[in-house]
Amino acid sequence: MSHMKYGCLMAVDPDHVLRAAAALLTHKATATMDEVAKAAGISRATLHRHFAGRDALVRALESLGIAECEAALDAARLDEGTASEAVRRLVGAIEPAAGLLGFLYTENQLFEGEEQNAGWTLIDERISALFRRGQLSGEFRIDLTPAWLTEALYGLLASGAWMVQSGKGAPKDFQHMIVELLLGGALRREES
Amino acid sequence: MSHMKYGCLMAVDPDHVLRAAAALLTHKATATMDEVAKAAGISRATLHRHFAGRDALVRALESLGIAECEAALDAARLDEGTASEAVRRLVGAIEPAAGLLGFLYTENQLFEGEEQNAGWTLIDERISALFRRGQLSGEFRIDLTPAWLTEALYGLLASGAWMVQSGKGAPKDFQHMIVELLLGGALRREES
DNA sequence: TTCATATGAGACATGAATGTCTCATCCTGG
DNA sequence: CCAGGATGAGACATTCATGTCTCATATGAA
């Protein structure tokens, strides 16, 4: 053995491997299993022992992304306060997962033909319900469908994550940029 | 020879091949050269005679995307009328290329490390200039940077193209959805 | 200490996509 | 009619990622 870090050969933490894989694939979607293994600090053989193959790894990442989304939805308490406040909380809570979501978003386009994980449908419905609540309360305009607002939120999250990742924007501006544009738009408000 | 369509063996039109490749790769980013050739109605050998390899094909598609973007920018006459009107014209003009742009957008993330085509920088600057003009005229709010508004426009275009392509939205709503959200946001306007 | 387990390193086979090549065929112009 | 050019079909080698395997080693528990 050439070099041994930490001197530990304990059982690998699958969650740690997933986090490392997510961090890598977030900014290099075509990374090989070899690169993923190196990024996680384990060998390719061990990576294969925990995840049968690249498909299994992506599926596990998808489950992780869904779980983080649902956690963010729970943490944002979408039913409390005004819809605007709920959207703001949601964007803030989902920010750490935005990069992973962007990766899964493009990866899902490769599954065209297969059925997508039902978890995404539930998430879509929860977010759509939030926008619908805002419309019913008179807070949001009604000429933009909840489905479109949901999809637009995804797109803005991806753009925001990309901007932060490429260094063109500061992480601290992430929430503000997205929420302000999504809710208020680019036009200047006369009143308020 | 098994079957001969049209009975024509004339020189292939490279532009037609590019269009076909764009149409295919737009909704199947991992299509092989074989599939691209079939989609274009030519053989893989001929495809290779016109484009040295997959890289060359993608580069050619990038040039096509840049050209279509610039054509849309020209057609939208960004200097005329209010900035809002210019944005509306721009979104309408760029709609046919939105799918291709989405493909190139994700494909560019694979070039990380290499320098990106300078054409994109010019396009970014023209769009940013439009938003800046709107800010200087007092039409747009100034707390959202032109760079972010430009990036957000890309994200919304991608989301809109994806929504239309997946059948979740009607093509006729494309321009309205994007422009209204980008400019007005989700909040209901009190006045106007 | 001794044994079971987990890991790292590397070899090996497999499959897919790619790139190159040849050859037969078909059109078009002379 | 004939020559040249362009194409389609297919064979072939190459490369790369993947998946599987073996073996040596280090760790932790009995």
The boundaries of every CATH 1.10.10 domain in chain B are: 11-51
Query: Which chain B residues are within 8 Å of A163, Cβ to Cβ?
Result: 147-148, 151
Q: What is the pLDDT of residues A47-75, one digit of tens each?
A: 999 999 999 999 999 999 999 999 999 99
Residue A190 or residue A166, greater confidence? A166
Give B147 to chain A, closest Cα distance, Å: 8
Report d(CA B148, CA B154) in Å as an integer: 10
Residue A141's pLDDT band (cuts 50, 70, 90) = very high
Mean pLDDT of B24-53: 95
- Which percentage of chain A shows pLDDT scores above 70? 90
B181 with A141: Cβ contact below 8 A: no
Q: What is the pLDDT of residues A102-132, one digit of tens each?
A: 999 888 776 666 678 899 999 999 999 999 9
Q: Bridge partners of B140?
A: A187
Mean pLDDT of A83-94: 98
A66, A67, A69, A75 alpha-carbon torsion, rounded to 10°: 160
pLDDT at B169: 95
Q: In Å, what is the CA distance from B60 to each residue of A58, B104, B115, B161?
A: 31, 11, 16, 21
Cβ(A183)–Cβ(A139) below 8 Å: no
Closest residue by Cα to residue B41 from B2, B7, B3, B5: B5
DSSP string, A72-105: HHHHHTTTSS-HHHHHHHHHHHHGGGHHHHHHHH
Residue B184 or residue B106, greater confidence? B184
pLDDT at A113: 62
Whether the pLDDT of residue B65 is over 60: the answer is: yes
The first and second tokens of residue A183, run together, are 């809710």
pLDDT at A1: 36
Whether the pLDDT of residue B143 is over 90: the answer is: yes
The first and second tokens of residue B154, run together, are 């890309």
Cβ(A148)–Cβ(A53) below 8 Å: no
Residue B108's pLDDT band (cuts 50, 70, 90) = confident
- Give SS3 for B112: strand
The boundaries of every CATH 1.10.357 domain in chain B are: 66-184
CA B145 to chain centre: 22
B140 with A84: Cβ contact below 8 A: no
Where residue A4 falls (left for φ over 0; alpha for ψ -120 to 50; beta otherwise) is beta
DSSP string, chain B: ----STT--PPP-HHHHHHHHHHHHHH-TT--HHHHHHHHTS-HHHHHHHSSSHHHHHHHHHHHHHHHHHHHHHHHTTTSS-HHHHHHHHHHHHGGGHHHHHHHHHHHGGGBTBPPPHHHHHHHHHHHHHHHHHHHTTSB-SSS-HHHHHHHHHHHHHHHHHHHHTTSS-GGGHHHHHHIIIII-SBPPS--
Closest residue by Cα to residue A126 from A98, A146, A103: A146
A10 touches strand D (CB under 7 A): yes
Nearest CA in chain A to B175: A144
Q: Between A109, A139, A158, which is nearest B155 by CB?
A: A158
Report d(CA A63, CA B26) in Å as an integer: 26
pLDDT at B1: 37
pLDDT at A112: 64
Whether the pLDDT of residue A147 is over 80: the answer is: yes
Closest residue by Cα to residue A183 from B185, B176, B92, B177: B185
pLDDT at B149: 97
- Fold type of domain B11-51: Arc Repressor Mutant, subunit A (1.10.10)
pLDDT at A87: 98
The first and second tokens of residue A123, run together, are 């998430």
Whether the pLDDT of residue B2 is over 70: the answer is: no
- Give SS3 for A139: coil
CB-proximal positions of chain D, under 7 Å: 5-10, 16-22, 25-28
pLDDT at B117: 86
Whether the pLDDT of residue B142 is over 90: the answer is: yes
- Which percentage of chain B shows pLDDT scores above 90? 79
Report d(CA B87, CA B102) in Å as an integer: 19
The hierarchical CATH code for the domain B66-184 is: 1.10.357
Closest residue by Cα to residue B175 from B192, B149, B148, B156: B156
From the CA of B16 to the C1' of C26: give the distance in Å. 21
From the CA of B67 to the C1' of C9: give the distance in Å. 50
Three-state SS string over A35-77 comes to HHHHHHCCCHHHHHHHCCCHHHHHHHHHHHHHHHHHHHHHHHC
B43 touches strand D (CB under 7 A): yes
The average confidence (pLDDT) of chain B is: 91
* Lowest pLDDT segment from A113-117, A184-188, B56-60, B68-72: A113-117
Report d(CA B187, CA A179) in Å as an integer: 11
pLDDT at B106: 84
